[in-house]
Structure 1
Amino acid sequence: MSKEATLTHASIQGVQIPVIYEHSALIPAGIVRLVFQGGGKLQDGELIGRGAVIEELLEKGSKKRGNLGFAKALEQRAITLSVSSGMQTLSFSLNFLQDDKEQAISLLGELLLDPNLSDTELQKVKTAITAQILANQNDYDYLAKRLLNRVLFDGTPLAHPKLGTQKSIAKIRLQDVQKALESTLTLQRLIIILGGDIDKEATLALLEPILSKLPQGTPYTKPSFSVRKEPATQTQYAPTQQAYIYFGAPLHLEDLERESHLAKVASFILGSGGFGSRILEEVRVKRGLAYSAYIHYNINPRLPYMSGYLQTKVDSSDEALEVVRKTIAEFVAKGVSAEELQAAKRFILGSEPLRNESLSQRLGRAFDEFYADKGIGFSKKELEKIASLDLPTLNAYIAKHTEIQNLSVAIVTAKEKKQKSGF
């Protein structure tokens, strides 16, 4: 049987470390995740892409076994161990069969305490990332999204690509990686996530000798950001047959607990609900201007904003953008219908089991709730509020948020061909 996730704390070297845990006996397996705050893109500073370099380097195994030896040790026992660098976290994710728990945690300790860092491995990683950066120059969706980030988040780390640039990657040295890891892999910045058919206390007892070797470090302060308030448009030209249009706007979020369910339903109806959503009906169904169109509210207390995208013919980009603007304006001015609200409720409430099918999904949600300071179990309360949401309340919320009309736009498109004159 599975129980809901709980939050407790483990004391290591006097540091109180948050522990998120859910027991599930469906299969004899376990999950251990170590999440270190401050290890992601936001901490790169001038060394843009350093987080991505660290992520790839830590996938090279431990110094004791090397890349191939470490991979073989994992494979022999069907253990998976991966590293990921997010916006502001560096995470180690370990999955194992119950009988291999001790060996799995031992390998995690090897990687955490003595990773395979060397100038040779660093150069391999830098070469691979540089190749990916070059390949991305032909990915017009990627270019449009990157351009929008520069427009919306100008002057902040969010404006920079996670992979960095050719120049920034070339500047990263081994000591830069080591310095970042020394400040990140500390007890004060650690969050532990445990799940599966494993005992919490017994698993923490196996982790404690490993984690106690980490320095205490300093606590991490989560930053807050806001998007551009005044609309702006930037265009980048490329040899493309389509126009790639990404757009975003501010979203004022004053009280997460009071507003999140309203924002979630509004977002679904306006553009994140697929067929039946306003934007897809107006852009694709009625006018055939795009195969897909999407609008989403980012309901994050430290970075609330609205964003969306569509892809259309080069000569239809102005018309498509005008449809987007009019659709948003009408949404704010007139709100939604009772039928739209009921359809949104049915889908959101009916699809909830699918979003929580696996243990990994549930642990991920519990972590997201904790990290956003919502409190574990917030999503369940949110669904209860959605179930009882009435039309006047939703439309009053929608009408209040006129700021989502202040669209900033990024377009990657082909240059217009000049008509040849002749007789």
Structure 2
Amino acid sequence: MAAKIESIEVKGIEVPVIFEEDSRLPIVTTQFVFTNSGSITDTKIAGLAKFSSRILNEGTKKLGADGFAQELESRAIHISSNCGKETFVIEVSSLKEEYAKSMKYLKELVDDPNYSESALEKVKTTMIGGLSRKANDFDYVAAVELNKVLFEGTVLAQPSSGEIETLKKIKLKDVKTFVDEHICLSRAIVVVGGDVTLEDVKKQIKKVLKTLPKGKAEELPHFDVRAESKENVLDRETQQAYIYFGSPYNMDVSDEDNYKARVATFILGMGGFGSRLMEEVRVKRGLAYSAYARVEVTKSRSYLTGYLQTKIESSDEAKTTVKEVFADFVKNGVTQDELEQTKKFLLGSEPLRVETMSQRLNRTFMEYYKGFKLDHSKEELKKIEALQLDELNEFIKKHTEILDLSFAIVTKK
């Protein structure tokens, strides 16, 4: 059965419900998604959103982390929370016969989170330890530095996991304030799929939603990427140069030309050995094992980013090669053969992107979240199939902003 979107009224607020019934397996998966509640809201304390999601993974105050986990395990129920840049998600999965019980446990969790000093210190220790280990993960270091360059002066310039000094300062009251403000009805979207009826879904999720405050929805901010090129080089004890790069990409999340960007970017840097970057950087010049570039277009940001690793002595040549590949791409576009090969891959691999229920639900959610109608993805595939070479090259030549590349490089000087 195809996914559909309905709503449920709670405390005078219409909460969207994305639902797909699938009886092939006796399981139910539920996601409570809260918009404008991810790390993009960490304007005062870097890492607070992710820290708060970790606290909600510590069970209830009554049972504690271990007691709550044992209760869930005894019924094969899984509850976890996580956050991205824009959204905060609480996910629940269970067997069909335990669905009602899983919602009961979720209600207990949002009613009585484990706001204890022991949970606070445990999460601090875990997250600080993780950041300490990442200090020598130079891919992570370069990626964080690139965000500092591209989004300088904004909340997106800071790592979503925060920094050691900011994490040390987080108090229980900070977590409570975050949860109260963001885990609320006004920001909620519920996504459910599995062997269950929509009637039962509405009945069970309403019990959880009724415990949430109304809250207040706020418009998601949009951040522009640095328009002028900049380069930051970090000196580290490394045997390789880690080169991360990015540029603006002038496109809105609801732009009807997004499918052209998908095709163009696949040819430029996402198509593995068939991509321009891989061909020039690895195959022709042997500068790196792999080279990659992609476009990220979301409600809060739109930009192109990529990376490669190379020998320290080859760093300048690799950087120059990336610039040359981009310049040639914008000036001359792509070939008919590149377009046809990309069409074959994107259209031929489509079944792999929708073979599981979670994939289909996520696609439906993203269509709704971005403001498209249902089955927009199918319409996009038809457009890709019909895309002509001159249309694509005209689109590529318009996006000269991708030539304004900024770099974050970790190397040994």
Listed as ranges, the matches of 1:331-342 within 5 Å are 331-342=329-340
Q: Are 1:195 and 2:193 matched, yes or no? A: yes
Q: 1:212 aligns with which of 195, 204, 210?
A: 210
| Alpha-carbon distance in 2 for matches of 1:254, 1:15 | 28
Aligned position for 2:17? 19
Give the aligned length.
Answer: 413
The one-letter code of the counterpart of 1:382 is E
Listed as ranges, the matches of 1:281-360 within 5 Å are 281-360=279-358
Cα deviation, residue 41, structure 1: 0.6
Q: Secondary structure at the match of 2:244?
A: strand
Q: Is residue 77–residue 100 contact of structure 1 (8 Å, CA) maintained in 2?
A: yes
| Alpha-carbon distance in 2 for matches of 1:222, 1:302 | 7
| Alpha-carbon distance in 2 for matches of 1:279, 1:210 | 49
Q: Are 1:247 and 2:249 matched, yes or no? A: no
Aligned position for 1:98? 96
Q: Is residue 141–residue 410 contact of structure 2 (8 Å, CA) maintained in 1?
A: yes
TM-score (ref. length: structure 1): 0.95
| Alpha-carbon distance in 2 for matches of 1:375, 1:16 | 18
Aligned position for 1:224? 222
Cα displacement string for residues 354-380 of structure 1 (whole angstroms, at most 9, x for unaligned residues): 111110111111112222222332211
| Alpha-carbon distance in 1 for matches of 2:341, 2:61 | 55
Cα deviation, residue 42, structure 1: 1.2
| Alpha-carbon distance in 1 for matches of 2:300, 2:335 | 31
Aligned position for 2:117? 119
Q: Are 1:134 and 2:137 matched, yes or no? A: no
Cα deviation, residue 227, structure 1: 0.3
The one-letter code of the counterpart of 1:109 is K
Cα deviation, residue 194, structure 1: 0.8
The one-letter code of the counterpart of 2:322 is V
Q: CA separation of 1:354/1:393 partners in 2, compared to 1, >3 Å: closer, same or farther?
A: same
Q: Secondary structure at the match of 1:63?
A: coil
Aligned position for 1:87? 85
| Alpha-carbon distance in 1 for matches of 2:19, 2:360 | 10
Cα deviation, residue 128, structure 1: 1.3
Aligned position for 1:65? 63
Q: Secondary structure at the match of 1:90?
A: strand
Q: Secondary structure at the match of 2:257?
A: helix
TM-score (ref. length: structure 2): 0.98
| Alpha-carbon distance in 1 for matches of 2:253, 2:19 | 28
Q: 1:31 aligns with which of 3, 9, 29?
A: 29
Cα displacement string for residues 275-325 of structure 1 (whole angstroms, at most 9, x for unaligned residues): 110000000011110001001111335411111000000000100011111
Listed as ranges, the matches of 1:358-397 within 5 Å are 358-397=356-395
The one-letter code of the counterpart of 1:63 is K
Aligned position for 1:4? 2
Cα displacement string for residues 74-132 of structure 1 (whole angstroms, at most 9, x for unaligned residues): 11121111111111221111111111111111111111221111112101111111111
Runs of 4 or more consecutive aligned structure 1 residues displaced over 4 Å after TM superposition: none
The one-letter code of the counterpart of 1:209 is K
Q: Is residue 253–residue 301 contact of structure 1 (8 Å, CA) maintained in 2?
A: no
Q: Is residue 367–residue 374 contact of structure 2 (8 Å, CA) maintained in 1?
A: yes
Gaps (5+ residues) in structure 1?
416-423
Q: Secondary structure at the match of 1:59?
A: helix
Q: Is residue 245–residue 406 contact of structure 2 (8 Å, CA) maintained in 1?
A: yes
Q: Is residue 225–residue 303 contact of structure 2 (8 Å, CA) maintained in 1?
A: yes
The one-letter code of the counterpart of 1:137 is A
CA RMSD of aligned residues (A): 1.2
Q: 2:53 aligns with which of 52, 55, 68?
A: 55
Q: Secondary structure at the match of 1:258?
A: coil
Cα displacement string for residues 143-199 of structure 1 (whole angstroms, at most 9, x for unaligned residues): 000000000000111100011111111111100110111111211111111111111
After the TM superposition, which of the residue ranges 80-89 and 231-240 deviates more from structure 2? 80-89
| Alpha-carbon distance in 2 for matches of 1:403, 1:214 | 44
Q: Is residue 248–residue 305 contact of structure 1 (8 Å, CA) maintained in 2?
A: yes
Q: Is residue 240–residue 311 contact of structure 2 (8 Å, CA) maintained in 1?
A: yes
Cα deviation, residue 341, structure 1: 0.2
| Alpha-carbon distance in 1 for matches of 2:385, 2:143 | 34
After the TM superposition, which of the residue ranges 298-307 and 345-354 deviates more from structure 2? 298-307
Q: Is residue 263–residue 299 contact of structure 1 (8 Å, CA) maintained in 2?
A: no
Cα displacement string for residues 326-354 of structure 1 (whole angstroms, at most 9, x for unaligned residues): 01100111111100000000000111111
Gaps (5+ residues) in structure 2?
none
| Alpha-carbon distance in 2 for matches of 1:109, 1:267 | 43
Q: Secondary structure at the match of 2:60?
A: coil
| Alpha-carbon distance in 2 for matches of 1:255, 1:47 | 27
